[in-house]
Structure 1
């Protein structure tokens, strides 16, 4: 994706400040490695291209690496539809939630997918009609290529990301509008992601046929051994529906599906309505809440009375269940937090907490405080 296209989206002052000091750089000749100090400079992204045989096209994407990227460490990956529109917003949320002494989520790799043919690649079925029964634009003739695009992500892009970067078993798929629709399609199809974030998905597309099939498939639940990942669904307060004008159908369909799914699995499905937002402004708050919810329990929130180590361990157990993967606090973070409290609050009752957590999660490694965070 071209960096000047990214800057044209409405970014917050924080992101514009970030953009003024760093930039997207071209595809490297070799796989990135840590610099002599053990870190890789924070950038807005590595711009890359892959030829897709399934799509018969060149597909560009951008990769953001944590500022202390270490090839010896494995990182979760967030795959983002419409990267040219939402890359910077997502990057800002990630930076906010991973920053500081008490991070709310682990460092991760962000992969923003550029979009070349949205009507083909981001639609799960073929239709020529709008919800009112009238013909859509000429672009509707190309609809229905969504399955091939998901196959591209699974079979071509993910292997490339795993080859080029140090990735863990944890992955998230996120999208907005048609990207949100494809996120739900991937969730329906039980694609291999631990979590799905569908923001204001375009459930009006191919309505009512696709919606009814999606609803029926998701009501069947999970078969043994094919459990779906966690799901976050966001609905904006959007009073418009394509083809119907002033109509709440778009909003109502999202809320109905989200409420139905969360009622069946409240621990792993969260549906949220955002009043006073529209189809565009809902993206930023939904991104922040979705990642904060998915990783709820990761942050060790100290209070005057706690927590104790069993509470923290149980929080990570619940978090691991939600994401279907073992999640544990980073050893350097625990060491730094221990050192930080020991230096500033030497009489604090909470300093033994970090020793106990290190003994629980890393029993075969030295148990000691140190002054450097993992991120």
Structure 2
């Protein structure tokens, strides 16, 4: 594949060796079970501890809290490598800590960081982020889940929706309303399972089957003040910073999805024969593969360049929004062509490209819809 080393100039030896470790883990610990886990709708919880033991959880987190001390490129190459295990659901399930822990790291005091981060990075606890509600998605200012101070605790009331890893989570990073101001009245809390939140239901999705997704209810749940992150009203700004990293993560999934779909298509075109010769010897299909490859290269270059700008602190929200849109569309388009090239087999659940095509659909929705991204881009013009 010409995309394999296309952007390696952005990487150093630590990134390359980490990528190899992640690919080995995907090959040995994920790929043999991916089909069964997808059909079951969840993966073995022991995988968290295995990933931690292999040094794969929290690659970019400070070593003081059990992380690898790396940068955002470690997360990008990890995303690309782990998807080679054949399950986006497993990837995002293992990766839910990537959106649940940043508010703790950004707003938490030293006691909170040492209490709430290391057990997750050791694979002992599962962390999830709970922001979206039945009546509020991209419009974060419309959140209604409330946190009312009552002595040395806050009483949380409300419902959260589409919580990745919410069914099995041991702790939720919850954005709740502590004041009337649409933006300045939002505060993050870490709500632990023992505090009494309720998993109302496990949600059935089009894709990402191996990753559990939950609706969570907070029926007057008492959360100790020591689990509030930062001062009251500090949540919105922190969430906006968290969105940048989440969107880079989703872009990396888009690139990896498109790249894997392309590889599957090239292998199929060389293997499958029609009218007396391999599909790869038919010019129309060769040109289709060439166009798919061009989309993958463009998406990967965009992703790595933008990641480098994020690492240097130079990227704007509009650049990250544009990256998310571009890679989501590249994944959709390449997967569409991959299914078409596979013919009937591309429509079968035993086919990897069928799974990838379903999984790719969420990339233009999760982390901010394409339409919201376009608004961010348009405001920067």
- Higher helix proportion, which one? 2
The normalised TM-score by structure 1 is 0.24
The TM-score with structure 2 as length reference comes to 0.24
Q: Which has the higher contact order (CA 8 A, sep 6+)?
A: 2
